């Protein structure tokens, strides 16, 4: 796989540094394969417990990609786009989200039928989708004006299309912007992976399952009451596995970021809004009122 790294380093380094450039046609297959390989490798960093609980991809995906190493092409029924990211300096992330192809009037399938891949490195955002179920592949678009570089027949100019921030990154990384070009078949995140169980009240606070599904986080009821009045807030919190950036909304809380405390603190500091301190049973709780 070292050839992939060489092509990716040469072609993508200027874009990571926010220097306008071109993805040459002859490099596009290798870069798409590099994105695919990097995303699959990131999944392997999940814990053994997470994989035993169903998180991850079939070993057949890894085997199939390895068998194509001489071709330096991603797996069939995949598409890749390139975009620009403007957020916290030095930010990087890799996310893989299972997807389903929801046929009208049919229940959600018990297993996902594809997955979205998203990589952010500096100013560069790379996004892809791969369908894994025969007969359930769809030609898709992101709806964000992002240039598609695989499959493609021409060179691709960068930057182009919508510029992403931390907030809009969550939407695309969850597969929420993907649409079948015909518009008849909805493509959605697999709910088992994308939606956490409902929150509940506990000792005068709101208890929410953390993304790790092993711990809970708590926030003041006052923020829930504010959200129901249309006033949303952002706050930092953590469990034993990760630190989180969370936004409240009228009907839910949204995990906007997860990772090391330093990175989450930088994302929180970058949010525009007045800061408040809420006192409740668990002590002082710091949050920011989000601008409308």
Residue-wise pLDDT tens digits, 239-273: 998 899 999 887 778 887 788 899 889 889 988 89
* DSSP secondary structure letters along the chain: -HHHHHHHHHHHHHHHTT--EEE-HHHHHHHHHHHHHHHHHHHTTS-HHHHHTT-S--HHHHHHHHHTTTTT-PPSSEEEEEEEE-SSTT-EEEEEEEEEE--TT-PPPSS-SEEEEEEEETTEEEEEEEE-STT----EE-SS-PPEEES-SS-EEES-SPEE-HHHHHHHHTTTT-EETTSSS-EEE-HHHH-PPPPEEETTEEEEE-TTSS-EEEEEHHHHHHHHTT--EEEEEE-SS-EEEEEE-SS-EEEEEEE-HHHHHHHHHTS-S-EEEEEETTEEEEEEEPP-
Mean pLDDT of the 222-232 span: 88
Mean pLDDT of the 5-34 span: 95
| pLDDT for 51 | 61
- Mean pLDDT of all residues in the chain? 86
Mean pLDDT of the 203-214 span: 85
Judged against a pLDDT cut of 90, whether residue 197 lies above it is answered with: no
Q: Which residue has the higher pLDDT, 169 or 67?
A: 67
| pLDDT for 213 | 75
Nearest to 247 by CA among 169, 185, 146, 158: 169
Q: Which residue has the higher pLDDT, 110 or 195?
A: 110
Mean pLDDT of the 112-117 span: 91
| pLDDT for 280 | 74
Judged against a pLDDT cut of 60, whether residue 54 lies above it is answered with: no
Q: CA–CA separation, 17 vs 33, rounded Å?
A: 21
Judged against a pLDDT cut of 90, whether residue 103 lies above it is answered with: no
Judged against a pLDDT cut of 60, whether residue 84 lies above it is answered with: yes
Mean pLDDT of the 141-149 span: 91
Is residue 172 a contact partner of residue 118, using CB atoms and an 8 Å limit?
yes
Q: Is the pTM of this model over 0.85?
A: no
| pLDDT for 128 | 96
Judged against a pLDDT cut of 90, whether residue 149 lies above it is answered with: yes
> Kind of pairing, strands 148-150 and 78-85?
antiparallel
pLDDT band at 102 (very low <50, low <70, confident <90, very high): confident
Judged against a pLDDT cut of 90, whether residue 107 lies above it is answered with: no
Taking residue 45's Cβ as centre, other Cβ atoms within 10 Å add up to 8
Name residue 205's beta-bridge partners: 202, 220
> Kind of pairing, strands 200-202 and 187-189?
unpaired
């Amino acid at each position: 796989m070292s050839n992939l790294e060489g092509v990716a380093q040469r072609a993508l380094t200027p874009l990571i540094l926010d220097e306008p450039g071109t993805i040459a046609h002859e490099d596009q297959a290798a870069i798409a394969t590099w994105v695919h390989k990097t995303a699959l490798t990131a999944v392997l960093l999940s814990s053994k417990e997470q994989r035993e609980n169903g998180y991850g991809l079939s070993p057949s995906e890894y085997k199939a990609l390895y068998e194509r190493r001489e071709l330096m092409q991603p797996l069939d029924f995949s598409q890749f786009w390139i975009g620009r990211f403007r957020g916290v300096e030095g930010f990087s992330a890799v996310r893989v989200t299972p997807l389903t192809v929801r046929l009208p009037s049919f229940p959600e399938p018990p297993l996902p039928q594809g997955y979205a891949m998203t990589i952010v490195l500096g100013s560069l955002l790379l996004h892809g989708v791969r369908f894994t179920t025969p007969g359930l592949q769809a030609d898709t678009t992101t709806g964000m004006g992002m240039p598609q570089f695989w499959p493609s027949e021409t060179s691709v100019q960068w930057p182009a299309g919508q510029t992403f921030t931390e907030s809009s990154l969550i939407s695309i990384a969850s597969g929420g912007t993907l649409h079948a070009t015909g518009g008849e078949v909805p493509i959605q995140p697999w709910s088992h992976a994308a939606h956490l169980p409902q929150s509940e009240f506990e000792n005068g606070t709101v208890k929410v399952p953390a993304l790790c599904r092993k711990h809970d986080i708590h926030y003041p009821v006052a923020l829930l009451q504010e959200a129901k009045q249309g006033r949303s807030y952002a706050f930092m919190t953590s469990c034993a596995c990760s630190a989180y950036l969370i936004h409240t909304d009228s009907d839910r809380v949204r995990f906007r970021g997860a990772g090391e405390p330093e990175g989450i603190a930088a994302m929180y500091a970058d949010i525009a809004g007045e800061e408040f301190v809420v006192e409740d049973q668990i002590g002082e709780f710091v949050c920011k009122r989000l601008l409308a």
